[in-house]
Amino acid sequence: MRIPNLRQRIAPHGTRDAITAAAVVGAFIVATVAIAILEAEPFAIDDTSPVYLVAVVAAGALAGTIPALITAVAAFLLYDILFTEPRLSFAVSDPREVLDLVLLLFVGLGVGRLAAVQHARAEEAAERAAEANTLFALSRSLATSRPQVPRSARRPQDLASPDRSCRSSP
């Protein structure tokens, strides 16, 4: 017995998908700004690419495996274009940055998949809890209610007239 997901009843797929996409894009924008700030002069941190993993985790947790994988690849490409020398190019001049980018991609893919699996398990657990609650309510209702037997299903001796059923036999 499948119980419909509560979120599916609250928001239609189109609205929920748009909200999820906006949240993932928002996480991506926040991660890009954070990287830009951390690599700027006051902090001057060399490799801040792991900040993009926050967006990958958000995509995996909110939308599932495929969006997480797309976000990981997009983080890889965006970090390569915006934050490695030469900038605004897919070319990478420093071999250490190539290793950093490849590690970012693989860790992002793994983390995104793990977050998506955790999200799916949480949804399944919520569905099972709702199903268990429904079955409990049904069993309690059946156990505490008095059965109503229709008149046609009663035994013939129960259908006797009130005079006859009240009399004692000789």
Beta carbons within 8 Å of 120's beta carbon, 6+ residues apart: 64
| Of 39, 121, 126, residue with least CA distance to 83 | 39
Integer Cα distance of 149 and 101 in angstroms: 73
Answer whether residue 8 shows pLDDT above 70: no
Buried b (16+ CB within 10 A) or exposed e, 13-36: eeeeeeebeebbeebbeebbeebe
Q: Give the model's confidence band at 12: pLDDT under 50 very low, under 70 low, under 90 confident, else very high.
A: very low
Residue 56 near residue 72, CB atoms below 8 Å: yes
Q: CA 166 from chain center: how many Å?
A: 65
| Residue-range domain boundaries for the chain | 6-144
Query: What value does the mean pLDDT take over residues 108-136?
Result: 90
Residue 151: the pLDDT is 66
Answer whether residue 2 shows pLDDT above 50: no
Residue 101 near residue 69, CB atoms below 8 Å: no
User: What average pLDDT does the structure give for the chain?
Assistant: 77
